[in-house]
């Protein structure tokens, strides 16, 4: 299975989601890899910093491009991390994927970029993942209701706003903060 983590906006949790989903898959016994299509190389940097420290990632992170995205994978799960704003790479990642995850924070500015991302993914199973969410707030409820009112699939699993997630850059995740349940939900939804 290939999962593309996409949003045309930056700073919404794409790389974090990609790393955590891949780590959850490995922890669960799946073979997994992460393809980094972002020219900034955030996932690659994460892996390099982790390798230099005491907590290396347990899966390969490989830079990828429009051509390499379409190649078959020998892994049970391939997660594709995408850059913001690069329509050609984002479209190639969507086209290569079996399912598309669109992370976004529950805010008007972040939600604005969800719509063109979902349009680009209209031919694939896709869902919005609410990230950096303050659980139990009116804003979160209103965001979820607004998306669902437009017929958008919203993952039940919401990633709460946690300092531990923000501080995990450069180490192999050992706590998964809802990402384990998210991967289970993705697998169930795509069956």
SS (H, E, C) 23-43: HHHHHCCCCEEEEECCCCCHH
Q: What is the mean pLDDT of residues 35-48?
A: 96
Task: Tell me the helices (H) and strands (E) count for the chain, helix number first.
Answer: 9, 6
Question: Alpha-carbon distance 160 to 90, whole Å?
Answer: 25
Per-residue pLDDT reduced to its tens digit, 8-27: 888 889 999 999 999 999 99
CATH of the domain at 60: 3.40.50.300
Q: How many domains is the chain built from? A: 1
* Whole-prediction pTM: 0.95
- Measured in degrees and rounded to the nearest 5, phi and psi for residue 32 equal -150, 150
Residues of the domain holding 20: 2-190
Per-residue pLDDT reduced to its tens digit, 56-110: 999 999 999 999 998 999 999 999 999 988 789 999 999 999 999 999 999 888 8
Question: Alpha-carbon distance 101 to 103, whole Å?
Answer: 6
Tokens representing 77 are 């799960």
């Amino acid at each position: 299975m290939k999962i593309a983590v996409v949003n045309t906006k930056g700073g919404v949790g794409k790389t974090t989601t990609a790393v955590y989903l891949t780590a959850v898959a490995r922890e669960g016994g799946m073979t997994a890899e992460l393809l980094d299509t972002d020219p900034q190389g955030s996932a690659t940097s994460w892996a390099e910093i982790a390798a230099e420290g005491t907590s290396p990632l347990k899966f390969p992170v490989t830079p990828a491009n429009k051509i390499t995205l379409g190649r078959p994978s020998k892994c049970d799960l391939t997660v594709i991390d995408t850059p913001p704003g690069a329509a050609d790479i984002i479209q190639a990642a969507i086209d290569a994927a079996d399912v598309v995850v669109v992370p976004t924070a529950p805010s008007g500015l972040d939600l604005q970029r969800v719509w063109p991302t979902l349009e680009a993914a209209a031919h694939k199973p896709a869902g919005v993942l609410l990230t950096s969410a303050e659980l139990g707030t009116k804003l979160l409820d209103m965001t979820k209701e607004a998306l669902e009112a437009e017929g958008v699939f919203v993952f039940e699993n919401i990633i709460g706003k946690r300092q531990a997630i923000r501080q995990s850059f450069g180490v192999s995740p050992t706590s998964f903060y809802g990402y384990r349940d998210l991967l289970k939900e993705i697998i169930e939804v795509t069956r």
